[in-house]
Amino acid sequence: MIVGNWKMNLTIHEASLYVHKLASKVKGHRNVEVVLAPSLLSLPTLSLQVERRQFKLAAQNFYWQDEGAFTGEISAHQLRGLVEYAIIGHSERRHIFGEHDKDIRAKVQAAVRHSLTPILCVGETAHERTAGETNGVLHDQVVGGLANLTAEEVAGIVIAYEPVWAIGTGNNATPADVENAVKLIRRQVEHLYGGDIAASVRILYGGSVSADNASSYLTTPGVDGLLPGGSSLKADEFSAIVEAAHKAGKK
Ligand code: PGA
């Protein structure tokens, strides 16, 4: 699974042109699910434009209430039908917009309630890493994000390990770091919901992923895909990452 997080980039018109270009470059492979997370503004246009067998769509954010007096917000209920996935708990939401585990948990529940698959992002800051707190942070974010879900609901979700220090810095984590973190996350899910559920949860890596380093993660045990940000905005590079996933999946 490859999820391109475009963040706050591209106007509606630019997004539409970009998807047109991307569609000719990204080959449809049955073993790779390709998901695009454009700005919310572009979703209605792109949801009509994309061929769902080639690209699925994700929301980058939403509010957990279904409707009401929440100026400026949009809900999972309103996203229904436009997107299949929703990114929840991205470090930029946690650190720039002050979202906490309880907000993230409410969003995960709202997504599931409206049949959107959560892509729950977890990851430690540089400071937490230096202080040796990585395992504790991942534990708290996984438990905090998934609490109140049934085993059946957890089975379908996606978790992304995104160490904050690796995002947008060019300082990507080593495959060994990613392997350890992914093992820990899966063990945590297993502890809460059992081995079968833990095996079915897809776990991605994100943080300065590029066409050059993608294969090293895609061949790392336990990693089911990638969540590139910056490199998802370059059509050649993004399609090369999808190709790398296709090749890794065949092995
Ligand atoms: P990056 O972003 O690939 O630009 O580091 C990843 C992310 O924030 O999901």
- Which two tokens mark 123? 């990851």
Q: Is the CB of 162 under 6 A from ligand 1?
A: yes
Q: In the chain, where does DSSP find H-type helix?
A: 12-25, 43-49, 76-79, 91-95, 101-113, 126-130, 134-146, 151-155, 175-193, 195-200, 214-218, 235-250
| pLDDT attached to residue 251 | 66
Given the residues 124, 128, 153, 162, select the one marked as catalytic: 162
Please give the model's pTM, rounded to 2 decimal places. Answer: 0.97
| pLDDT attached to residue 249 | 86
| pLDDT attached to residue 28 | 82
> Catalytic residue at 67?
no
Alpha carbon of 230 to ligand 1 centroid (Å) = 6
Q: Sign of torsion, CA 34 38 44 45?
A: negative
| pLDDT attached to residue 190 | 97
| pLDDT attached to residue 135 | 96
Query: What residues form DSSP beta bridges with 183?
Result: none
Q: Sign of torsion, CA 247 32 206 55?
A: positive
| pLDDT attached to residue 133 | 97
Q: Is the CB of 206 under 6 A from ligand 1?
A: yes
Q: Is the CB of 87 under 6 A from ligand 1?
A: no
| pLDDT attached to residue 29 | 85
Residues 6+ apart with CB under 8 A from 14: none
Q: Please tell me the distance from the alpha carbon of residue 53 to that of residue 140, in angstroms, as a whole number.
A: 35
Q: What domains sit in the chain, N to C, each tagged with a CATH number?
A: 2-250 (3.20.20.70)
Pocket mutation for ligand 1, best pick of 35, 92, 162 (most atoms within 8 Å of C-beta): 162
Alpha-carbon distance values, 91 to 21, 79, 95, 147, 165 (Å):
29, 22, 6, 19, 10
Going by their DSSP bridges, the two strands 158-161 and 117-122 should be labelled as parallel
Per-residue pLDDT of the chain (251 residues; tens, 9 = 90+): 999 999 999 999 999 999 999 999 998 888 999 999 999 999 999 999 999 889 999 999 999 999 999 999 999 999 999 999 999 999 999 999 999 999 999 999 999 999 999 999 999 999 999 999 999 999 999 999 999 899 999 999 999 999 999 999 999 999 999 999 999 999 999 999 999 999 999 999 999 999 999 999 999 999 999 999 999 999 999 999 999 999 998 76
